[in-house]
Amino acid sequence: MRDAFFRALAGLGAADERVWALTGDLGLGLFEPFEAVAPGRYLNVGIAEQTLVGVAAGLAYAGKVPFAYSIAPFVTSRAHDQVRVDVACAGANVKLVGVGSGVSYGTLGPTHHAIDDIALTRVLPGMTVLAPGDPAEAERAARAAYAHEGPVYLRLGKNGEPALLPEAAGFRIGRAVELRDGGDVTIASTGTALREATAAADLLAGEGIDATLLHFGTVKPFDADALIAAAARTGAVVTVEEHSVVGGFGSAAAEVLAESGVGALLRRIGLPDTFAHAVGSRDYLVDRYGLAGPAVADAARGLLERSPTWQTT
Amino acid sequence: MSTGADLRHEADAARRIVLEAALASGSCHIGSSLSIVDILTVLYQRALRAGAGDRFLLSKGHAASALYAVLARTGVLDEAEVIAGYCRDGGTYAGHPERHVPGVELTAGSLGHGVAVALGRALADRTDGRDARTYCLVGDGELDEGSVWEAVALAGHLAPPGLRLIVDANGFQGLGRVGEVLSLEPLGEKFRAFGWIVSEVDGHSHAALECALGAPARRPVAIVARTVKGFGVPALEGEFMSHYRSFRPHERDILFAGLDGLAEAA
């Protein structure tokens, strides 16, 4: 996903002289293609995230389109006041890019895990929050971020994510993609958790349970219509995200469902209000903290057992 | 070209707007605004070159009323609207400035943000081949913020020629004298160590300010302006509480007594 983003970034830099690429001293070897096509518009500010975001804002005020890149918690949490004031409150056309969503930095530990970045960005007025589900969508999301006038946070995984989305899915900010349209339960996921959501839907299908599978490449603005329609049809919703269950995608879904009057059952799957202190790879941690496909399928079955209309055979 | 007397008149008029707005709203931060009125007056009346695209970013946002006042004197804002709309219910001019207000280049209030943003603007100018200057003003208390020094270090390293940082060294911060809370003196030496050109001036001397603000340079310049908090109001000058004190209409004479004296001296 990271490499896909950098392909898109180089393309944008070649096509538009307003595009700048900034980093807080991260991304070894990744910026060279951009530098080659956009000389003088690549800047490593050093290990200084507040300056990274502040300089990006200054460039944006001058009419540039800066992409400010770092590991997700550093660009969203470490520099949050600059994101809040210089970018969001001022309405700056800055594209914040966080690599390493959720626990994708695995063994490097909780300082490098992004379990609160969605919460920290979606709470800011005017911020658009994008979380692509596979590498090809990361490229599409980067181009959409560029085309959108205003603050964007682009949440990326790392590398090696499988291709899960059809090319025809396209990418429109604020629009979820319905990948399956089963009538029994809705599985709604964002970002890299699409892998686990897809695995869960496969497991359920093997048992004769047909899931609607909704992928949200955008967390904010939230596609309330898509979720409410699916919830009304299935009566049960499981949200899946590589993020804390507090304040993130599942919280956004809960807000929408609670106010919709649909009355669907809801279960949020994500890090259960804990840092991932256990040591291990991304996949190990996803399993250890209950986000893996089988756990998501279990959550779906649990909702169906509570559902007054669900008939077990 | 205006004369020195014109500048004194302009600064005096701007101070009056600051005080009228403070009196009308019953708001605080009067001393913080008064310490930079002379700086901003010289900056806007003499140093900023409109044709070159020069701009000013107020990083110590709590001195917003001084910025509004000088913007009113230069015709960007309306003086009566500033006085009526500063820190009032339904007003237009908040106690800390926002970019959507005409003439305001930086949303400020959370301290330590301005230098990095100004650096970004100066880098854009250099890349685009523009000979524009980006002036940014910080308070000496604001220098406690680590983010200031991140940006000062990077600016010294990248050395965009148009960057100008003004330090309003009025010697006070939130809970006391800067020298007692967190002394960063010698200030000039610190900026020099980061590769900046430094000048130190009397922040109320119009001639000295004009010289320092307009001086040509090919790398970032830090202008350490030694100022008096509450300048122009004897009851507030050099007073720690000038940051917090507010005035009621019946105390009008206390606020304006010094200004009449300044006008007579001029």
pLDDT in tens, B97-112: 999 999 999 999 999 9
Residue pair A79/A49 in contact by the 8 Å Cβ criterion: yes
Domain that holds residue A253: 170-306
Q: How confident is the model at residue B265 (pLDDT cuts 50, 70, 90)?
A: low
- Do B120 and A62 make contact, defined as CB atoms within 8 angstroms? yes
Minimum CA–CA partner of A41 in chain B: B127
- What pLDDT sits at residue B243? 87
Question: In the predicted model, is pLDDT for residue A302 greater than 70?
Answer: yes
For A84, name the nearest residue in chain B, comparing CA atoms only.
B110
Q: How confident is the prediction for chain A on average, in pLDDT?
A: 97
Q: What is the DSSP-derived secondary structure letter of residue A163?
A: P
Same domain, A150 and A178: no
Minimum CA–CA partner of B100 in chain A: A90
In Å, how far is A49's CA from the nearest CA of chain B?
9
pLDDT exceeds cutoff 70 at B2: no
Q: Do A85 and B119 touch (CB under 8 A)?
A: no
Query: Does the pLDDT of residue A311 top 90, yes or no?
Result: no
Q: Which residue has the higher pLDDT, B265 or B176?
A: B176
Report residue A307: phi and psi, to 5°.
-75, 130
What dihedral angle (degrees, nearest 10) is formed by the CA atoms of B30, B35, B36, B37?
Answer: 70
Do A77 and A185 share a domain, yes or no? Answer: no
- Dist CA A270 CA A254 (whole Å): 13
Would you call the peptide bond into B216 cis, given omega within 30 degrees of 0 as the criterion?
no
Same domain, A147 and A14: yes
pTM of the model: 0.96
Question: Could you report the per-residue pLDDT of B188-228, keeping only the tens digit for each?
Answer: 999 999 999 999 999 999 999 999 999 999 999 999 999 99
Same domain, A23 and A64: yes
CA-nearest of B147, B19, B219, B212 to A80 is B147
Residues of A in contact with B101 (CB under 8 A): none
Q: What is the mean pLDDT of chain B?
A: 95
CATH number of the domain at A139, please. Answer: 3.40.50.970
Say if A165 falls within a structural domain: no
Residue after which a domain boundary falls, among A91, A123, A155: A155
Domain count, chain A: 2
Confidence of residue A75 (pLDDT cuts 50, 70, 90): very high
Judge whether A312 lies within some domain.
no
Residue that finishes a domain, picked among A120, A155, A190: A155
Residue A183 CB partners (closer than 8 Å, separation 6+): A210, A212, A233, A234
A24: in domain: yes
Check the CA dihedral A206-A207-A212-A217 and report its sign: negative
Residue of A275, A238, A273, A271 lying closest to A257 (CA atoms): A238
The residues with which B172 forms a beta bridge, in sequence order, are B177
B242 pLDDT more than 90: no
* CA A27 – CA B88 distance, rounded (Å): 48
* A77-115 pLDDT tens trace: 999 999 999 999 999 999 999 999 999 999 999 999 999
Q: Is A163 domain-assigned? A: no
Same-domain status, A124 and A187: no
Give the pLDDT score at A307: 83
User: Distance, in angstroms, between A81 CA and closest chain B CA?
Assistant: 8
Instruction: Tell me if A36 is assigned to some domain.
Output: yes
Quote the pLDDT of residue B258.
Answer: 86
pLDDT tens column, A205-248: 999 999 999 999 999 999 999 999 999 999 999 999 999 999 99
Task: For residues A224 and A134, state if they share a domain.
Answer: no
> For the residues B79-108, what does the mean pLDDT come to?
97
User: Would you say residue B1 has pLDDT above 60?
Assistant: no
CA distance A136 to chain B (A): 31
- What ipTM was assigned to the predicted interfaces of this complex? 0.95
A134 in the same domain as A257: no
In a shared domain, residues A147 and A189: no
> Rounded CA gap, B208 and A39, in Å?
40
Residues A137-170: tens digit of each pLDDT: 999 999 999 999 999 999 999 989 999 999 888 8
Tell me, yes or no, whether A61 lies in a domain. yes
pLDDT(A295) > 90: yes
Q: Which CATH architecture has domain B4-265?
A: 3-Layer(aba) Sandwich (3.40)
Q: Tens digit of pLDDT for each residue in B147-204?
A: 999 999 999 999 999 999 999 999 999 999 999 999 999 999 999 999 999 999 999 9
Confidence of residue B113 (pLDDT cuts 50, 70, 90): very high
Residues of A with CB under 8 A from a CB of B: 40-41, 43, 45-46, 48, 50-51, 53-64, 66, 81-82, 84-86, 89-91
The pLDDT, as a whole number, for residue A168 is 85
3-state secondary structure of A67: strand
Chain A residues with CB-CB distance to B127 below 8 A: 40-41
Edge-first strand order for the sheet with B55-58 is B55-58, B134-139, B163-169, B221-226, B197-202
Query: Which whole number is the average pLDDT over B253-263?
Result: 79
pLDDT of A309 above 80: no
DSSP annotation of A106 reads: G
- Both A241 and A205 in one domain: the answer is yes
- Does residue A160 form part of some domain? no
* Chain B residues inside the 8 Å CB shell of A43: 123
Statement to judge: residues A66 and A118 lie in one domain = yes
Contact of A136 with A167, CB cutoff 8 Å: yes
| Pair A178, A131 in one domain | no
Which pLDDT band holds residue B262 (cuts at 50, 70, 90)? low
In this structure, the answer to whether residues A133 and A184 fall within a common structural domain is no
CATH number at residue A247: 3.40.50.920
**A161 assigned to some structural domain:** no
